[in-house]
Structure 1
Amino acid sequence: MTTSPYTSQSAFDGSRMRVLLLVDLHEGAQQQFLDAYEQMRDRVASIPGHLGDQVCQSVENPSQWVITSEWETAPPYLAWVNSDDHLETVRPLQRCVKELRSMRYGIVRETGVDRPRAGALQSAPREGDGVIRHALTFTVKPGSESKVAEILAGYAPPESRVDAATRLRRTTLFMHGNRVVRTVEVEGDLTAALRHVSRQPEVRAVEEAINPYLEQDRDLTDPESARNFFIRAAMPPVHHVARGGPEPGDLRREALYYPAKQGCGMALARLLARQDEAAAADPASPVHRSTVFQREDIVVRLIDIQGDPETDPVMALGIQGPRKAAVLARLLDGEALGVAGPLTGARDANRLLAHAGMALITDRRAAQS
C-alpha cells in the first residue's frame, strides 16, 4: 500500500519497523531480567515477520537496559504485541521492571548493509500535526451500559497541562452496546500524558466507580493487575490521514465500530485505511480527518466529518464503490452488528451506518487546542 502525502501514520506502507523497549529495572534484578529475556527470545524469534533483536545494558547505569527488535513490517508486530500470547510471554520480564517504555519507528534510511534485507524502507518522511493518538477499549456487564455512560459523562476533566512539553489535547468517549472506546490526543509525550492522567484524583475516582461494572476484573491497587488490564485494553492507531488546508468550522466527531470476522481485523483496517486515503484526496469527500484503531478483530474508525454522516453514508463508512462494499461485507462480522448479508446499495449503507455508529458519551477539549 502506497501512502498519500496526507498520511502522517500508517502500519500499511510495507516498510520495516524498529521497536525500542526502554527498561528501568528494580535494584538487583539484572540477572533475573536477563534470564527472563533468554526464556522469551526463542518464542519471539518464531513469530512471523520478526527479523532479530538485541538486548543492551547501559554502560553508565546498570539498571537501564534497551531491547531492540526489527520487523519486516508493522502488521506482524502489532498482531503479536496485542495478543494474549504476548502478555503471557513477557510476564516474567515485567516482574523485574520498575519502568518500561516502548517506542516504534519506521526505518527510512540505513548504512552498512551488504546484503538484501526482508522488508522495505519507508519511502519518504511523513509530516504530522504534532498530535499523538491512542485509544483504549473494554466491555462492561450487559445491563450496566446506562450507568457506565452516566459515570463516564459526569467526571471533572483532568488538568490538561502535563509539563512544559506535553499537553492532553482532547479526550473523546464512545459506547457501542456494552463496549467502551476512549480516544485521546496528546501533544508531546504520550507515556507522560497517560501517567499524568492516571494520577489525577478525578480520573482515579471514575475508574474506581466503573470497576464493579467491568467484564474483565481488575484491581487498580495491584500494579500487575492494572498493567494487564490496560495492556489488553490498548487499541493502537494503525492509520491516520487528514486533508490539508484550513480546518472547516462545522466538523463533527463520529466513531464507527467494525467488528471483523475472526482473523480479519488487520485486513479490514487496511481496507478502511485505503479508502480514507482516497477520501483525503477527494475535495468532495465530507471526511476531513480519520484515524483507524485496531486490536485483533476490533476495528474502530474515528472521523471528523462535515455535516451529518447520513447525508452520504457511503463516504462516511469508507466503502466507496461496489467492490469495496463487497470486500467489507466479507471481512465484517455482520451478525455481531445485526446487519448480516451483502452491502449492495444506499439502503444497506444507511442500515450499516445506523448499526456501526457509536454513541458519543463525552468530548472534552483542552483550552486553545
Structure 2
Amino acid sequence: MTTTARISQSAFDGSRLRVILLLDLYEGAQQQFLDAYEHMRNQVASVPGHISDQLCQSIENPSQWLITSEWESAPPFLAWVNSEEHVETVRPMHNCVRDTRSMRYSILRETSPVQPLTPGSAKADTQVEARVGDGVARHALTFTVKPGSESKVAEILAGYKSPQAQVDDTTKLRRTSLFMHGNRVVRAVEVEGDLLAALRHVARQPEVRAVEEAINPYLEQDRDLSDPDSARVFFTRAALPAVHHVVSGRPEPAELRRHALYYPAKRGCGMELARLLAHQDEAAADDPNSPVYGSTVFQRDDIVVRLVDLTGELDTDPVASLGLNGPKKAAELERLLDGAAIGVEGSLETERNINRLLSHADMMPITDRSSTDA
C-alpha cells in the first residue's frame, strides 16, 4: 500500500467519505427517535454530495443504534454538518439520545462481488493514498465576544490554570493554542489518542468550567452550560474542524514559532480557500528552504484559520508565511478572500498589500500551552 508520511489529515484527497454515527438512546425513546430520523433523512437526502445512508439497531442492545452515510467526498459533508441547517435538522433528536459519537472515514478500497477486478479498476482503486499520522488529532473552536470586551476576555483566557493533561492511559491533551482576531476567539487543541474523550475530559475540569463561566457575560451568542441542549448547540456552532494538516519531512528545527492567520472568505468560498492554502502548504513542505515547517488549516463556512509553525519571524518572508508562493497564487487568494472584511482591498500582487494582509491576518496570541512531556 502506498503511504504518505507528511499529510496526516486532509479533506481534499478526493476520496468518498463514510460517516458513522453511534447513538445511545434513552429507554422508551425508540419511536421518538425513529420519527426524528425520518425527518432528518428526508432533509439529508437533498443535500448535494450525499449518496446514501443506513439506520441500524444493535442485535445485542436495542438502545444502541448506528447511522452510516456515504458522501461523494469530505467537503460537501463538512459544509452541511457545520451549517445552521444541520443544527436545526438534528435538534429533534436531542431529547431521545443519551450519547453520540461521530466517526468519519475516507474510503480507500472497496470490494464488490458484482464488479470483477480489471486492470482499469485496479488502477482506479490505488488512486487514494493512505495517510500515516503522528497519533495526534486536531480540532478548534471559534466564537465571538461583544465588541469592547476583547481585552477583558483576553485577560481571562490568558490567566486560567491549565487542566490535567492526562485523560486516561491512551489519551492526553498535548497542546492548546489560543488566539484572537478583533472580537473573534480561536482555540486550537492537539490531542494524543481519543479526541472526543479529551474534549469531554477538558470540559469537566473545574479550571476550564471556571473560565467558561467567566467569559459567558461577554459572548455574542448566549449559552447556558448547565443546559445540555444549549451547550450542545453552542459547541456545534463553535466547531472549527481541521481540514488539512501537513508537516515537512525534514528534521524539526530547534526553535519553531506558532502563528495563526485569519482568512475570511467571500460568501460560499471558504472550502475553496481552505483547499488553496492546503495545497500551498503541501508544496512548502517539499521545499527545504521554506520557513513553514508545518501547518493546520481549519475551516467552517466562510471562516478559514491557518495555524503555522515556522522558523524565524513571520514577516521575514511574507509571501511564504501567507502561503502564496508560486505564479498567480496571490490572484487566486484575492478572488476568494473577503478583502473588505480584513481591511485589505485591491491587488494582492503588490508588496504593499501583501505586507498589509500579513499584518491584518496575523492573530493575536493569547496563550500557547503544551503538556510537560509532550
TM-score, reference length from structure 2: 0.95
1:127 matched to 2:132? The reply is yes
Partner of 1:305: 310
In 1, are the aligned partners of 2:244 and 2:298 still within 8 Å (CA)? yes
State the partner residue of 1:337.
342
Q: Any residues of structure 2 matched to 1:69-84 within 5 Å, and which? A: 69-84=69-84
Residue aligned with 2:157, SS: helix
Q: Which residue pairs with 2:118 in the alignment?
A: none
In structure 1, the gaps of 5 or more residues are none
- Look up the SS of the partner of 2:131 in the other structure: coil
Correspondence list, 1:260-339, <5 A: 260-339=265-344
Q: Distance in 1 between matches of 2:51 and 2:347?
A: 40
1:171 aligns with 2:186: no
Which residue of 210, 215, 230 maps to 1:210?
215
The answer to whether the aligner puts 1:31 opposite 2:36 as a matched pair is: no
Distance 2:125 2:73 in 1: 8
Matches within 5 A, 1:212-227: 212-227=217-232
**Corresponding residue SS for 1:86:** helix
RMSD: 1.5
Amino acid at match of 1:169: R
The alignment covers a number of residue pairs equal to: 365
Q: Deviations over 1:278-328 (max 9, x none)?
A: 000011100000000000000000000001010000000001134110010
1:132–1:186 CA contact under 8 A, matched in 2: yes
CA apart distance, 1:121: 7.3
1:115-154 correspondence to structure 2 within 5 Å: 123-154=128-159
Selected match of 2:196 from 191, 196, 204: 191
- 1:355 correspondence with 2:357: no
Q: Which residue of 1 aligns with 2:257?
A: 252
Contact 1:137 1:182 in 2 (8 A): yes
What is the distance in 1 between the residues matched to 2:337 and 2:29? 46
In structure 2, list runs of 5 or more residues that go unmatched: 116-120
* 1:63 Cα offset (Å): 0.6
Q: Alpha carbons of 1:120 and 1:303: their partners in 2 closer, same or farther (altered >3 Å)?
A: farther
**Cα distance in 2 for residues equivalent to 1:142 and 1:336:** 15
Give the share of equivalent positions with the same residue, in percent: 71
Cα pair 2:346 2:353 within 8 Å, conserved: no
Misfit runs of 4+, over 4 Å: 119-122
1:17 and 2:22 correspond: no
Aligned residue type for 2:105: Y
Verify the 8 A CA contact 2:342 2:360 in the aligned structure 1.
Answer: yes
- Indicate conservation of the 8 Å contact 1:173/1:182, yes or no: yes
Note the C-alpha offset of 1:334: 0.6
Q: Counterpart of 2:207 in 1: which secondary structure? A: helix
1:69-117 CA distances to partner (integer Å, 9 max, x unpaired)? 000100000000000001101111222111001000000111126369x
Cα shift at 1:276 = 0.4
